Amino acid sequence: MSAPTARPRSGAKPALASDAKTCAICGKPRDQRYDPFCSKRCADVDLHRWLKGSYVIPGGESSQTQRDSEDEE
Ligand SMILES: [Zn+2]
């Protein structure tokens, strides 16, 4: 006999929050695995950006790190 009361309208979460869970690279919905990115690809992109911006390799070796992003899990 206990009818469920109507949900309180107050306290409704904002549909469009400022902290949208979107990829920082392409803007797609994030994936928990690769948070805050949507995929390893985007995570890799950001990583490379970071590395390029931070790592300054003196001398200049012609051997670049070969990293194929084929290992998808
Ligand atoms: Zn992405």
Would you kindly state where each structural domain of the chain is located, as residue ranges? 20-53
Task: Give the Å distance between the CA of 65 and the centre of ligand 1.
Answer: 23
Cβ–Cβ under 8 Å, residues 15 and 6: no
Task: Give the Å distance between the CA of 3 and the centre of ligand 1.
Answer: 45
Task: Give the Å distance between the CA of 59 and the centre of ligand 1.
Answer: 33
Q: Convert the pLDDT of each residue in 32-51 to its tens digit.
A: 999 999 999 999 999 998 88
Q: Give the confidence band of 53 by pLDDT, cuts at 50, 70, 90.
A: confident
Task: Give the Å distance between the CA of 25 and the centre of ligand 1.
Answer: 5
Q: Convert the pLDDT of each residue in 3-39 to its tens digit.
A: 677 666 665 554 444 456 899 899 999 999 999 999 9
- How many Å separate Cα 55 from the centre of its chain? 22
| pLDDT for residue 17 | 46
The secondary structure of 10-73 as a DSSP string is TTPPPSS-SS--B-TTT-PBP-GGGTTSSSHHHHHHHHHHHHHHH---SS--S------TT---
